[in-house]
Structure 1
Amino acid sequence: MANNIVQNVNKWEREIAPSHYMLRVDSFSKLTTMLLKGGLHYFKSKSFDASGYKWNFLVYPSGDLKTNSMGHISVLVCIEDTTSLPKSWAKYADLKFFIYDQVRQKYSIFQVGGASNLPDFHSLKTELGISNLVSRAVFDDAANGYLVDDKCVFGVEVFLLDSKFAEERFNMFVEVDKTFTWKISNYSKLGSEVHNSYEFPAASFKWLLSLYPLGNGKSRGKHLSLFLKLLVDEKITCPKLLVHFILRVRNQKSEKHREYPCCYSFVPGSSESWGWPTFMRLNELRNLSNGFMVDDCIIIEAYLVSWVRDIAPSHYVLRIESFSNLTNMLSGGETQYFQSKVFEASGYKWIFYQGRPIKNMNTV
């Protein structure tokens, strides 16, 4: 077999066992003796599965002669049958070897190549490893925990980095500058049910407002709840719209309106709305001296400032064509962070965002 030993190694500890393969040796001295008598310098494991491929783990109890590593433990992993792969195949790997510290009850981890220089397997390099994992002097000293009562445990993890990631790309920033005004009469007679405005267009999309006169959920009886909704339209082909908007209740006696800005990612085709369940306290709204309610009438506005269209779509990549525009949009909203669409990784669903969400903002 070709020899491909990596010397750049990162080391740390953890309590979690290796994910892909473990070798428990009840008598390391007997294993070493058997290998020497059989003319072998290494032990080769049975095949194990990792990242969609089959592998073998090799351990050299006294070091790999080909790398002049005598007096050390040497380890390797080898990818098995590669005949189904194309001739120019290459797989970058996050490769880690483990030795269990029986004294501290932790695993010593040795990462091949380090965190910033991941090694790659290819047709001319089907095995990778570490020639000087630990010296035999360190390994044999029971105080170090690796070999206790002639027992030891090795392990390996092989995570291949395939470029099958979810991706979003923002490159159509559109200034909307559209205000929708909704005048609601006989407010005191509306009751607790949700009330929807009529549809209104803005920048080729249709929207509506949802109002809960007596609050929604935990805010019932205490607040006015207000939400903006993007309506379903089969003509919409983009998976998401990042929208900067402002919702307000107008003050009919002064310019001291109650308003909140937001920058939120709407997903066309979903039934989700976005806004505030605690938009405004009812006692503040009903106090006629405040100017929000006049002759049992209130005025609600939705101001759509701008939007950016997601035209695209190992896990998630966000490509931004104009970082300054995105920053300006977010700074104009109260959330001050971007939240991605849901993407899958390691069998679970995730969301990428940076920042601190507003406590009283929610979806319905």
Structure 2
Amino acid sequence: SVYINVKPSQKQKPDHIKMDSQQRSLCFISLAFLFITCSSAEFLIQQVTQGRGTENNSSYSLDANLGVTRVLRDERPSSKIVTIAGYSVIKGRGEPYESSVFEAAGYKWRIVLYVVGNANDGGAGYISLYVRIEETESLPFGWELNNVDLKLFVHNPKLNKYLTVTDGALKRFNGVKKESGFGQLIALSTFENTNEGYIVQDTCSFGAEILIVKPAEVQEKVTFISNPPDNVFTWKILRFSNLEDKFYYSADFLVGDRYWRLGFNPKGDGGGRPHALPIFLFAQGFGPNAVATNTWGAVNLRLKNQRSTNHRQIYSAAWYPIRSGYGVGVNNIILLADLNDASKGYLVNDAIIFEAEMGQWKLQCRTQQRTTPLSHTSTGNSSVLRAYKDEEEFWKQRRRLMWLAAGDRNSGYFHTICKGKRARNSIFVLENSVGTVFYEETHIIQEITSYFQTIFTSNSSPDLSLEKVYVDLFIRLVITVSQVNYYRQYTLANISKINHSGYVLHVGRTGYISLYVRIEETETIPYGLEVNVDLKLFVHVPKLEKYLTITDGAVKRFNAEKKEWGFEQLIDLASFENTNEGYIVQDTCSFGAEIFIVKPAKVQEKVTFISNPPRNVFTWEIPHFSDMEDKFYFSDDFLVEDRYWRLGFNPKGGSALPIYLDAQGFRPDAVATNTWGAVNLRLKNQRSTNHRERYSAAWYPIRSGYGVGVNSIISLADLHDASKGYLVNDAIIFEAEMVKVTVTNIVSV
């Protein structure tokens, strides 16, 4: 299986965000239960509404996704728990234990346990555990369940956790194959090691979680539309000189599924204040019957020249979240000095005209903002600006580890400029593109400077003083991976060299697709309630007509503080965008989620071994022995604890006399499971205490009539020897002393 690092929780975004030319949105789509990144212009979102210790693994092939995962989790299994109180009694026994019937996902099942392993399934030296579907007589002819998501469990009381075993593959049950599980659930050497903590006070527990997966019948398809109808909106602002220092907004206009509006502050905003005029495009509500999702908006924002076609124009593109009032644009579409210059033609009769042309799409999810990154750089060498722009785009396309700080994800790495003063000198580790790691501050600055010197090259001489500004800005801005990410990327030896509160910067590393689900509309959930979720995420592989399934086996806890779970490194972009891999076909890709609510079992099946139970001796006298035929004779049933038993034998059993103990039905209200029966079988000596006795012990299955015993408790020659005292007055006496039996109860966990 693929093990992926789980992304730490992120803070909420402010209600109103404006992004200038050095700010951008990452390519995320937030849906009710789906969170997607993609570098395709058109992609499908496969959303499955029927509701899984992490390591890094660089392999994301489908073959690598077929192994068994074993992780510890806190939550109890939801379908069935079986506790054996007396493991030492059955240790080494080869026959299976079968639980009582239980219902899960609308069907009846049993747990089947082999404590020395199922040799027919490669289980020698292991615990083997399975589930078997039962009571299938009522199912239609040719029935098949091919969509069972199965997890099996071993309780570890020492850690108060459950070892969870799964392989991520859906199990198929039908009339031929009624049983599925794991022959090598856990090694016996591990299970029986007292230091491991699986057996405490001679008691151990196993469990199962059975879920039926119902494939989604609908999908959410997101299509990118170039130049949609009615895509140009013009906004004329009169009496510009009388406008106050606040944001002004246009009327809403509808393009595609969504309403939009323009907004600006005539006195400037952000880094452009008070020298430049900003303009932003805001996403508002949705059109009638529209599907409310994140919306891709690509727009040419223009300040119209009212005397010529020399308009000021900026291209902006971003994912706009579902909520209204989120704005993307620029802080500097024109300097106020140029605006107020009457000869320029932008401010005429104290009026300006903004225009938004929607639909100049870039056919990729990464935002492309073609503006100078900072207003004060307008004095710089144009080749330097181009080089910086190239570098800016380079970093925007790197893995998100580099640009995510503790703040929100969607505003991109440039939001860290607001933390510049605090973040200055916060880089303690730098890894360059060839994997060399630097720890000393002087080496880090030297490496960054050297890196930029190769970037800032052109036919003309670059402004080196301006380069210093960029390097300084770079150090302040690109600061950001969390401490969690640091610990999984480096060895303990490396960690020991770093201040524990520092950050790690990766230079030139490739990125990943990241995928999450976020719980929504939580207002109706009672305060303090947690939702435990079994989560799987998927990437469709049309080439193979399969889904790459990513899971780590751990239950995800959604609560007020942690509303989002998923995988930061779902699949590396190099594999995802490789046409030979088959994830993107005709510029289309699909992602999915499977969400099951895990409700831990409230009861368990407890199997207890009872030594010398009450009324455990049964005596059976057989008269007229010499008249008996060559067939099996059975005693009356007798009850010991949960079950009825009987003795049986054939008087013509060859040269010896056999005796067997048969398990029969269960007493009323007993839990019908396999029953342990340990018995002393005796042929009574009617003249002395020199009885013939054999000990027998076994798991008796649930069905009636299963017998265990011996084929020779006495030879027929000894039996017919009158001096021996076993056959007296043509009668013999058998006796069964039940020395240990199991009692099964359903009790609270």
Q: What TM-score comes out, normalization by structure 1 length?
A: 0.61
- Once the 2 structures are TM-superposed, how far is the Cα of residue 139 of structure 1 from its aligned partner? 2.6
- Once the 2 structures are TM-superposed, how far is the Cα of residue 261 of structure 1 from its aligned partner? 0.9
In the TM superposition, what are the counterparts of 1:149-164 in structure 2 within 5 Å?
149-164=201-216
Q: 1:198-233, CA deviations, whole angstroms, 9 ceiling, x for partnerless residues?
A: 75x768x89552435479x999x9895633457765
1:12 to 70, 73, 85: 70
Q: 1:45-101, CA deviations, whole angstroms, 9 ceiling, x for partnerless residues?
A: 45153x555543222234447658566422111234554678444332332222234
- Once the 2 structures are TM-superposed, how far is the Cα of residue 302 of structure 1 from its aligned partner? 0.5
Q: Does structure 1 residue 79 correspond to structure 2 residue 138? A: no
1:180 to 224, 227, 233: 233
Q: Distance in 2 between matches of 1:142 and 1:262?
A: 60
In the TM superposition, what are the counterparts of 1:126-145 in structure 2 within 5 Å?
126-145=178-197
Q: Distance in 1 between matches of 2:220 and 2:327?
A: 24
1:100 equivalent in structure 2: 155
- Is contact 2:146-2:170 (8 Å) kept? no
The residue identity in structure 2 corresponding to 1:154 is: F
- Once the 2 structures are TM-superposed, how far is the Cα of residue 42 of structure 1 from its aligned partner? 0.7
1:262 to 294, 305, 317: 317
The residue identity in structure 2 corresponding to 1:25 is: I
- Is contact 1:243-1:306 (8 Å) kept? no
Q: 1:256-284, CA deviations, whole angstroms, 9 ceiling, x for partnerless residues?
A: 836341144698xxx835523x7437996
213 and 172 in structure 1: CA distance in 2 versus 1, 3 angstrom threshold: closer
18 and 352 in structure 1: CA distance in 2 versus 1, 3 angstrom threshold: closer
Tell me which protein shows more strand as a share of its residues. Answer: 1
The residue identity in structure 2 corresponding to 1:262 is: A
1:304 equivalent in structure 2: 358
- Is contact 1:74-1:131 (8 Å) kept? yes
CA RMSD across the alignment: 5.3
2:87 equivalent in structure 1: 28
142 and 212 in structure 1: CA distance in 2 versus 1, 3 angstrom threshold: same
Q: In terms of mean alpha carbon deviation, does 183-192 or 345-354 score higher?
A: 345-354
Q: Distance in 2 between matches of 1:18 and 1:202?
A: 50
- Once the 2 structures are TM-superposed, how far is the Cα of residue 154 of structure 1 from its aligned partner? 1.8
1:319 equivalent in structure 2: none
In the TM superposition, what are the counterparts of 1:270-281 in structure 2 within 5 Å?
272=324, 274-276=326-328, 279-280=330-331
Q: Distance in 2 between matches of 1:119 and 1:298?
A: 66
What residue ranges of structure 2 are gaps of 5+ in the alignment?
A: 1-65, 371-395, 398-409, 411-512, 521-532, 535-557, 570-749
Q: Percent identity?
A: 21
Q: Distance in 2 between matches of 1:330 and 1:101?
A: 46
286 and 351 in structure 1: CA distance in 2 versus 1, 3 angstrom threshold: farther
- Is contact 1:244-1:333 (8 Å) kept? no
- Is contact 2:98-2:113 (8 Å) kept? yes
- Is contact 1:61-1:72 (8 Å) kept? yes
- Once the 2 structures are TM-superposed, how far is the Cα of residue 12 of structure 1 from its aligned partner? 2.5
The residue identity in structure 1 corresponding to 2:357 is: Y
- Is contact 1:339-1:354 (8 Å) kept? yes
48 and 283 in structure 1: CA distance in 2 versus 1, 3 angstrom threshold: same
Larger Rg: 2
- Is contact 2:261-2:284 (8 Å) kept? no
- DSSP-derived class of the 1:142 partner: coil
In the TM superposition, what are the counterparts of 1:169-248 in structure 2 within 5 Å?
169-170=221-222, 173-176=225-228, 178-191=231-244, 192=246, 194-197=248-251, 199=253, 209-211=261-263, 213=265, 226-229=280-283, 234=288, 242-248=296-302
> What is the aligned length?
314
- DSSP-derived class of the 1:144 partner: coil
Q: Distance in 2 between matches of 1:11 and 1:260?
A: 47
Q: In terms of mean alpha carbon deviation, does 344-353 or 150-159 score higher?
A: 344-353
What residue ranges of structure 1 are gaps of 5+ in the alignment?
A: 1-7, 308-324, 356-364
1:311 equivalent in structure 2: none
Q: Does structure 1 residue 41 correspond to structure 2 residue 96? A: yes
120 and 326 in structure 1: CA distance in 2 versus 1, 3 angstrom threshold: farther
The residue identity in structure 1 corresponding to 2:221 is: R
- Once the 2 structures are TM-superposed, how far is the Cα of residue 167 of structure 1 from its aligned partner? 1.6
Tell me which protein shows more helix as a share of its residues. Answer: 2
Q: What TM-score comes out, normalization by structure 2 length?
A: 0.33
353 and 109 in structure 1: CA distance in 2 versus 1, 3 angstrom threshold: closer
Q: Does structure 1 residue 59 correspond to structure 2 residue 113? A: yes
Q: Distance in 1 between matches of 2:514 and 2:348?
A: 38
The residue identity in structure 2 corresponding to 1:99 is: V
Q: Distance in 2 between matches of 1:166 and 1:350?
A: 23
- Once the 2 structures are TM-superposed, how far is the Cα of residue 133 of structure 1 from its aligned partner? 2.6
202 and 257 in structure 1: CA distance in 2 versus 1, 3 angstrom threshold: same
In the TM superposition, what are the counterparts of 1:288-303 in structure 2 within 5 Å?
288=339, 296-303=350-357
